[in-house]
Amino acid sequence: MATRDDNQLRKQVEQQARRLKKAERERPTLLAQTFFIGRLGLVLVIPVVAGAYLGRWLDSLSSGYSTRWTISLILIGLVCGGFNIYLTIKGSGND
């Protein structure tokens, strides 16, 4: 019975050692991590800026002073950017 437990333990240790070696080989470089963080920033900022410009243009079409469209579209852009970040992080695990 002790040899069976020893064999199972040996297999588990070997499997963990293979996982550690594979993780060490596939660890992203500093440059790759920097690009990933930059991409996350862009997928957040672009919808917010687009919403601000579109909202400002729509507000300029109305008479008087209004920021209703600008604020609304900035908030929508923030939500879309957050969702984009979620999708980007979720999709990067499949690489």
Domain chopping of the chain, boundaries: 29-92
> What are the pLDDT digits (tens) for 39-61?
999 999 999 999 999 999 999 99
Whole-number average pLDDT of the chain:
89
pLDDT at position 93, please? Answer: 67
- The mean pLDDT value for 63-85 works out to 93
Nearest to 56 by CA among 72, 48, 67, 44: 67
> What are the pLDDT digits (tens) for 2-31?
577 888 888 999 999 998 888 788 777 888
- The mean pLDDT value for 70-87 works out to 96
